[in-house]
Amino acid sequence: MRAVLQRVSEASCMVDGKITGEIKTGFLVLLGIENDDTDDDLNWLANKMVNMRVFGDENDLMNKALADVDGNILLISQFTLFAQTKKGNRPSFIRAAKPDKAIPMYEQMIKVLEGLTNKKVATGIFGADMKVSLVNDGPVTIIIDTKSRE
């Protein structure tokens, strides 16, 4: 499982001209799910994201986590995070999980994040053509891969 975590002052997702999710301060999370991802990967990643201390404290140092700033999450599924680009110029997405695996894991990630934050998680629509807007605060962008945790 791979996540691109962006600290934002605002972010939104639009599908067919309608906003499906929007937040102010918090994280825009682009989530890629791989074929061999497990519940352990999901839980580890959710905890890592929620506890990531990248928000400024009173000294403008990155010492605060999402809860410390009353932040929210906009979670967007993005299979292209597993693009393989070694050969040619057309990426391969063979490592990305197919919808029959990815959709339940994406929905489970929403539930786990809501449980950890005690807040509703804003979302896009899985598989839709989404228009995602954000104001990256900092900018702060962090990539987390569950296969690189050791």
Q: How far apart are CA 32 and CA 143, in angstroms?
A: 11
Whether 38 is a known active-site residue: answer no
- Candidates 20, 25, 38, 80; catalytic one: 80
Q: How far apart are CA 8 and CA 126, in angstroms?
A: 21
Which are the catalytic amino acids? 80
